[in-house]
Amino acid sequence: MKRANIFISIILIVFAGYYAYLITRLPTRKLPHTLGGDFMPWVLTVCLLLLSSLLLLKSTLHKSEEERSIKVSWKEVAGTLALFAIMVAYIEAIIYFGYILVTPFFMAAMMLISGSRRPMEVIIFSIGISLAVYVLFYRFFHVPLPVGRIY
Amino acid sequence: MSDVALVALADVFRLPNLLASMMGVLFGLFIGASPGLTISLGMVLLLPLTFSIPPVTSFCLLLGLYAAGMTGGSISAILLNIPGTPSASATAIDGHEMAKKGRAGQAIGTAVISSFFGGMFSLVCLVLIAPTIAKFALRFGAPELFALVLLGLTLICSFGQRSIIKGLISGVIGLIFMTVGLDSMMGTPRFTFGYVELQAGVPFLPALIGLFAIPQILEGIIGGVQVIPKYEAKISGLLPRFKDITRLFKTMVLGASVGTGIGAIPGAGGPIAVFLSYDYAKRISKNRELFGTGLPEGVAAPEAANNGVAGGAMIPMLTLGIPGDPITAILLGALMIQGLTPGPLLFQNNAQFVYSVFWAFLVANVMTLFLTLSTIKVWVRLLQVPKRILLPVIVMLCIVGSYALHNTFFDSGIMLFFGLLGYFMRKFEFPVVPMLLAIILGPALEEHLRMSLIISQGDPSIFVKHPISLVFIIIALISFIGPLLKRMRAS
């Protein structure tokens, strides 16, 4: 945890620096006797810098609570990023093929990743649920569902 | 009863609204009874459905989910010793012991009746107290509103349970996200990176879905799907006898009072209320040594408390626009989606809607009572719905739901960004609730601050010259410094 906190606080300090750089590029136009649009961002930058430095100091100097190890394995991070890649791919595919054509495949992929091993279960639920959501959202609540360039 | 209240009553009793309440209750019971799925998650999944329906219908749906979710959490707590929601944790202590002794029906019956009592008690408090607070709050100008929002944000400290610093960092980053978009005073773009979609600011609904739903799903899929044990025994004797109800009356009043009181304090939340009420019930009981061995009082107190929290938390939400817990923060978002501004003006400009919320909460509690008792066998079976089916459905709903807000995949991208952020925040033990509060309250904080300084021509003493604002600032300082001092003393 100690190393993780040090790592995070350094990232936050760098982020605060980048945010400060962005603030300097904001337009300076403001009304007389009042604060400009850059006031709040500056306050927040100072707060973030102070808090991240405090976390860094605490993690470096303090011993007691930092003994716990944080459970972040590379396998887990890779799994998370892979799942995100599938979600991004789903969104990209919907843009071209539309909700109806893509969703059953996405559902099937997610079910397989989540541990479904029976082919019939995967087929029935991926198609059935996609259609049920279509009916509930589009037909019943009139909430628009993504339409692709093809369908 | 005023005409407005009667019109609101008639509105809530229209068929579409009753159906929405019923759907909300059924979904809430499912979410509540399913270990690993929280009421907040259920709320964010339903939010996209509420864009296209009238505000009253959407609140019937969401309040049904809120009330039933609280009750549903007790089912798995009692039968399997796995609380469906954090607010049902204390119910498991005596409830599961009762189930082990073959009195599962009595335990669930007691939980449902007590939940109903807690919900109704908190509703009465809401109806009696909220209009008075709102009337008083109408005197608030920009300095008072700034101080009030500041007070709401200092509650961040109470959410940073493990580390106050991490809670504050989470809140500050949430506020930084809220500086994105057009400057509300000058109309100049800030941090939009050329994206037109960001000119209206970071869309908060996709951010909510990402922060709350995605990390839970990822943990479910990557961390291994939790295997829920089967409950085989028969459930009978659900309806408690009148004699039992009268015997539990004192405990229920105690639980409901504690729940409503704690709920009305922004930041305290359900889990604190249930354990506190369990403890108080134990103290006043003649059979205190039997607590933990399967005593109905041990079920009645926390269940009355967790549903009491629901009504209590709505008091600051509706009257001041300050959410009492994460669930009311999402409800606040639902109000904003509908173009309604929470706070004292809501009572003045949308009185009929406010009364509709009261009635909808009443209907939600009554429906929860009857639907839970009549369909308990269904919920026991649904406890076994495999997560390998449920989790993919939720992922798909998150993506499609975030698209539905503005019919753009930009929002789905924002949702995924916040999902990834929320996942790593959880991993590194940064609480997400302060970020949620900051996202909801951030724009108001900046707007009222700048408005106040325009009024005072740049003089910051305006915040201490106004007595109400001064009081809020003092309370904010106390609630900010108090936990810090407590931590320092403890360490």
DSSP string, B347-362: HHH-HHHHHHHHHHHH
In this prediction the pTM is 0.80
Q: What is the pLDDT of residue B156?
A: 61
pLDDT band at A23 (very low <50, low <70, confident <90, very high): very high
Q: Provide, rounded to the nearest whole percent, the portion of chain A with pLDDT above 90.
A: 36
CB B386 within 8 A of CB B179: no
Q: B184 to each of A28, A44, B79, B178, B446, how far by Cα in Å? A: 14, 17, 52, 12, 9
The DSSP output letter for B289 is G
Listed in sequence order, the residues at least 6 apart from B42 whose beta carbon sits closer than 8 Å to its beta carbon are: B27, B28, B31, B65, B69
Task: Give the count of alpha carbons within 13 A of B453, CB side only.
Answer: 16
pLDDT at B84 over 80: no
Nearest to B431 by CA among B143, B166, B40, B89: B166
Where do we find the tokens 């601050």? B449
Chain A, nearest residue to B398 by Cα: A87
C-beta separation of B81 from B47 below 8 A: no
- Collapsing DSSP states into helix, strand and coil, what is residue A103? helix
pLDDT tens digits, A124-150: 999 999 998 888 877 777 777 888 777
Given phi > 0 = left and psi -120 to 50 = alpha, else beta, which region is B102? left
| Chain A, window 74-113: residues with a beta carbon less than 8 angstroms from a chain B beta carbon | 76, 79-80, 83-84, 87-88, 90-91, 94-95, 99, 103, 106-107, 110-111, 113
Cβ within 8 Å of residue A68, ≥6 positions away? A1
pLDDT at A66: 47
Give the per-residue pLDDT at B1: 63
Phi–psi pair at B189, nearest 5 degrees? -75, 145
Contacts of B339 (CB under 8 A, 6+ apart): none
State in Å, rounded, how far the first CA of chain B is from the last one: 55
Render pLDDT for B146-202 as a digit per residue (tens, 0 to 9): 888 888 777 666 555 567 888 889 999 999 998 998 887 777 888 888 888 888 888
Q: Which of B53, B220, B221 sits opposite A141 (nearest CB)?
A: B53
Contact in structure between B118 and B73 (CB atoms under 8 Å): no
Helix B326-337 to helix B55-80 angle (10° resolution) is 160
Question: Which chain B residues have a beta carbon less than 8 Å from that of A26?
Answer: 188, 190
pLDDT at position A68 over 60: no
Arithmetic mean of pLDDT, B377-382: 76
Residues 6+ apart with CB under 8 A from B260: B118, B121, B122, B125, B308, B309, B311, B312
Are B119 and B310 spatial neighbours (Cβ–Cβ below 8 Å)?
yes
The token pair that represents A69 in the structure block: 């190890």
Q: How far is CA B57 from CA A126, B19, B32, in A?
A: 30, 9, 21
Distances, alpha carbon B199 to alpha carbons B21, B153, B279, B342, B415, in Å = 35, 24, 50, 23, 17
Express as a percent the part of chain B with pLDDT over 70. Answer: 92
- Cβ–Cβ under 8 Å, residues B32 and B68: yes
Where do the DSSP E strands lie in B400-478?
A: none
Unique residue bearing structure tokens 């001041």: B320
Count of positions (residues) in chain B? 491
Nearest CA among B122, B93, B100, B167 for reference residue B308:
B122
Is B286 strand, coil or helix? coil
Q: How many CA atoms lie within 13 A of B33 on its CB side?
A: 27
Rounded Cα–Cα distance for residues B257 and B261 (Å): 6
Eight-state DSSP code of residue B190: E
List all residues 6 or more positions away from B225 whose beta carbon is below 8 Å from its beta carbon. Answer: A114, A115, B386, B387, B388, B391
In this complex, which of A19, A71, A107 lies closest to B392 when CB atoms are compared?
Answer: A107
Confidence check: pLDDT of B230 > 70: no
Q: Any bridge partners for residue B189, and if so which?
A: B182
Least confident interval from A17-21, A42-46, B286-290, B393-397: B286-290
Q: Which residues of B touch A126 (CB under 8 A)?
A: 392
Q: Do A40 and B222 touch (CB under 8 A)?
A: no
Q: Has residue A84 got a pLDDT over 50?
A: yes
Residue numbers in B near A35 (CB within 8 A):
449-450, 453
Contact B389, A111 (CB under 8 A): yes
